[in-house]
Structures are given as structure tokens and as C-alpha cells.
A and B are shown apart, each in its own frame.
Chain A
Amino acid sequence: MKKLINQHPTKPFRWLLGVIPFLILLLFYVGASNARLAENPNDKLLPAFSSFTDAMQRMAFEPSKRSGEYVFWQDTASSLERLGIGVGISALIALTIGVMNGVIPFVRANLSPLVTAISLVPPMAILPVLFIVFGLGELSKIVLIAIGITPFLIRDMQQRALEIPAEQIIKAQTLGANTWQIIVRVVLPQVMPRLIASVRLSLGSAWLFLIAAEAIAATDGLGYRIFLVRRYLSMDVILPYVLWITLLAFAIDYLLRVLSKRLYPWFHSQTPEGA
């Protein structure tokens, strides 16, 4: 008998082991839901699956009676747009400042303390300030996402740029490269896959800030909808929305991973799985 740490499940068995917790969770829900509904058919806390499909049918495939929009898709588009712009701007700022910080000691001395200080400010605490300064429109939501994740991204980019072996930077100089050329040909391309990796890590927080901002001030969006229907205890809408957000988060993460592997094969073959 091998030690436990040396025993590996076969592939189908591993798959099965992974699925079992989900099945248990599902069974548990169905059991609890049935029990409550048997007692009170109007119970709203743990709706049956038929309620979910009804609710989603209404939200996604029938135009809203009030606005004529397909609410579910409208919410999805608004949220993804905010998330995309917020994360995109953050990534761009992080790449610029992070690389400059990493490569040029004078810029690092100048900006690094500021970035560290800003990264310690809890973004949610200044959300009211953002609403006051930028109004209740799209801008304040995007700014919240940007303020929330940019400092982390900058610090990570700076660290990655600093981790490039000094030998490479020296070699580039002996090949006649100037500072700018070293940045565009040696540092930037090597930092890009790492930027994608840290964007993947920061997406969780980005969703958090997005939903928080939407919950407080918005007229559409996934977060807005969840907090709106909470008033009617509409679990039949909330739970599918949460599932949908989870699915979107997973899809974005997956797409970024595939993109990174496609674009930077040299990076993924020198780092362990999943990096």
C-alpha cells in the first residue's frame, strides 16, 4: 500500500470525485426546497426549479412590460461593459506605471510610495466620494473598479518587471539597446503574460466593486437587479443571476487563460500549470 500522498485517482475517478460535491449540494437544495414547498406552496425562500425557469423565461426571453427591453440581457450587457472598461483602463495604467516603476529607478523612487499608499485605501470607503465627484452615472462605477484593482496591478507589474534577470537587461545593453528599446522589446513582452495572469486574479475584486456600485446607484446591471428584486424576496431571480455571474466570471477567466497560452507559449512552458 502506497502512502496517501503518492496515490493518484485515475482520470474518470478524479472527474467523479470533483462532481460529487456539486451533486450533494444540488440534492440538498432540492430536498430542502421540496420540504418547504410541501409545507407552504407559496414559500419564496427556496423556490423549485420550475420557478427558476419561469423567472428566467420572463427576464430573458420576454420584453419587459415597462421598458420593452429584454431585462436579463440588458443587465448583462451593462455590467460587462462597466467591467470591461474598468478592468481595461486599470490594466493599461498598470502596465504603463508598473513597467516604468520596475525599469527606471528615478520613476520608482518617485511613484512607488504613492502607489503603495493608494493601494492601502479601502476602495469601498471612498465610494461616496466617487459618487459626489463623478455623479451617479457610469463614470463613478468604472472609477471604483479602477481604483479598486489598479494599485494591486501596478504593484504586481512593478514586481514582475523587477524580476526580469539583470543579465538580460545587461545583455540588451551590450547589444546596443537604449532604455526605450529595452522597455519595448525586453520588458513589455515578458510582462504581458504576467499582466493577464494578474488581471485574472483581480477579476474577483472587480466583480465585487462592480456589484457594490450597481447595488447603490444604477438603473440596470446584474448587481442592480439582484438588489432590486431582493425587496420582493425574489429568490427565483436572485439565484439564477448569481449562477449567471459565476458562469460569466468563469468564462472570462477561461478566455484569458486560453488567450495567454495562445499568445505567449514560451511563458506557459516555463511556469507550472495554470500560471
Chain B
Amino acid sequence: MSYITINNVWKEYGDQVVLERINNTVEEGEFITIVGASGCGKTTFLKMLLGTEAPTRGLITVAGEALRYEPDSERGIVFQRYSVFPHMTVLQNVVAAKEFEKSKLLARLFGTAKQQATEEAMAMIKAVGLSHAVDKYPHELSGGMQQRLAIAQALIKKPRILLLDEPFGALDPGIRADMHLLVQDLWRRYKLTIFMITHDLKEGFYLGTRLWVFDKDRLDPQAPGAFGARITYDVPAGEVDPNAGNIIEEDVQATAAALKQSNSDQSQPELDGATP
């Protein structure tokens, strides 16, 4: 039995079909990168894994149990932005998870409990390379450092699944390379199962163990919402030959162009708006 099974999952908003007939299985410890044109349901899919959206049809199970459609500490998340608390320092941001766990009423720890939580948090902060900035507030950190903090925060709960929604989309290329190393390192060290959305195909090709392409294999230019996206490519990453890469790139670009075209033709609400 696979760790995660996705069984005939659909997602529709009214008559707009975002995802259709998604069937797949994922083993524990896989690192799946997800690419696709905007409006092809990548984020919607991640939200279903996270639990903030429920599938319209179908079922997702994790370790044999149906997924709870509410975010919980089983699944960590790092968004592109806003995933750290601006009113807490780096250390407080990471310790907060421990305080939520152990102090139900005040959500604050004192004395030895606090010290213990701080030590654990410091170790995690060190693992993401933020030891020099423990007392800084997020606004004093660069974009890359904020994302490191968000990762540290997510990992201290030791989630088995880590979801990354374009975590490096807003970063400079040089910093992005550093972050890739960090994520790969943490993934091995904590034996995580990672789902990562990226809009950078090259990132998708080499970062994970498996690459999923979300694409609309049927597209009606008059009604872009009539058919949903599916996983059109499911290939082991790292072994993608450049040719296959080009084909995927062309496919995704074609869909993106077609979606853009039909959206502007009919001045319909942006698909992006429907699937934020």
C-alpha cells in the first residue's frame, strides 16, 4: 500500500473544472516537484493536500487514512510569502510551534520548558543557517532568510509531509541555488515527503525525485474551464533527457498561451482568480 494515494480526484468551482481524474500514488520519502502553466490547478492540488480545500469528487488517503480537510501538524507548509509571523523574532517564530503544543491555554512556555523548547529551536535554526539572526524580526531579514525561517518553523513540528508553494519564486537566482541545497539536505536528513510547486522547469528537473506536470490535455479555446487539468507527465527527475524537457516546456507554454488567449478573447475572469 502506498503512503499517499490519490483516487480519482476532481475539483470544480461551479462549471469551471480545475482538476479532473487525478490518480496517483506517492511513496514515503519522495520529493515531487510540480510544474505547469498558471491556471492548471497546481496550487489547488497543493491546497487539497494541505487541507484548506476539499476535492469535489474522489479521495486522498495518507497512510491508509482519509486526509483531514483542515490544516494540521501532520503537514508543514511554506508559502511564497507571508508564512512567518511578523511580530515575532526568528527564535520566537520557531519556538511558537513548541508553545502551541505544550501550553494549550497561554501558548507560552516558562522556565525549564521554555529553555528546552529554545534549545530545540536553536538546533533547527542552525540547520537552516540562521544562527546569526535569532533575535531579528522578519522584516529585518532578506527574502531568502525569511524562507529559511519559514522552513525551520515548519520542520520543528517534524511533519511527515512538507508542502512548498513556489517557495523560491521571489528569490534571486544565486540565493535560490543555496536554498535548493538546503531543501535537499533537510529532505534527506528528516526523511520528508515533499511536494513542491515551482514555475521554474529546470528547478523541477533536478531538484526532486519525481516531476509532475499539470496540464490540460483537452482544451476548448471557447471554454477554457470546461475541461480540467491532469498530470500529463509523471517522470523520474534527474533522468529527464534534455529532449523530453523541451517537449514538456513546449506543452506547458502552449497551454499557457492558449489559456491566456481565450481569457483575453472572452474577457472572462482570470483562471488564476478562480484558483488562487
Contacts and interface: CB of A to CB of B under 8 A. Distances in A.
Task: Tell me the dominant secondary structure on chain B's binding face.
Answer: loop
20 contacts: A165-B81, A165-B82, A167-B79, A168-B82, A168-B85, A171-B77, A172-B100, A173-B72, A174-B72, A174-B75, A174-B157, A175-B100, A176-B72, A176-B97, A180-B105, A184-B107, A189-B87, A190-B85, A264-B87, A265-B137
A176 B79 contact: no
B97 A186 contact: no
B101 interface: yes
B86 interface: yes
B220 to A, nearest CB: 32
A185 interface: yes
B130 to A, nearest CB: 17
Interface string A167-202: 110111111111011001110011000000000000
B106 interface: yes
B109 to A, nearest CB: 12
A186 B153 CA distance: 14
Given A170-B77, A171-B77, A174-B77, A267 B87 contact: yes
B137 A171 contact: no
A266 interface: yes
The 4 A-B pairs at the shortest CB distance, nearest first, are namely A173-B71, A165-B82, A175-B97, A167-B82
A191 to B, nearest CB: 10
B83 A177 contact: no
A184 B106 CA distance: 8
B157 A175 contact: yes
A176 B74 CA distance: 9
A271 to B, nearest CB: 10
A266 B100 contact: no
Given A181-B104, A184-B106, A270-B139, A173 B70 contact: yes
B71 A174 contact: yes
B96 interface: yes
A269 interface: yes
A269 B138 CA distance: 11
Contacts of B100: 172, 175-178, 181, 185
Contact of B107 (A168, A177, A266, A269): A177
Contacts of B105: 180
Given A173-B72, A266-B86, A267-B86, 5 more contacts: A175-B97, A176-B101, A178-B104, A181-B107, A185-B96
Contacts, number: 87
B76 interface: yes
Interface residues of B, number: 36
Contact of A266 (B72, B76, B87): B87
Interface string A251-270: 00000000000001111011
A174 B81 CA distance: 16
A60 B271 CA distance: 70
Contact of A190 (B86, B97, B153): B86
B39 to A, nearest CB: 20
A168 B87 CA distance: 11
B253 interface: no
A78 B107 CA distance: 40
Contacts of A267: 86-87
Contacts of B76: 174
A5 B96 CA distance: 47
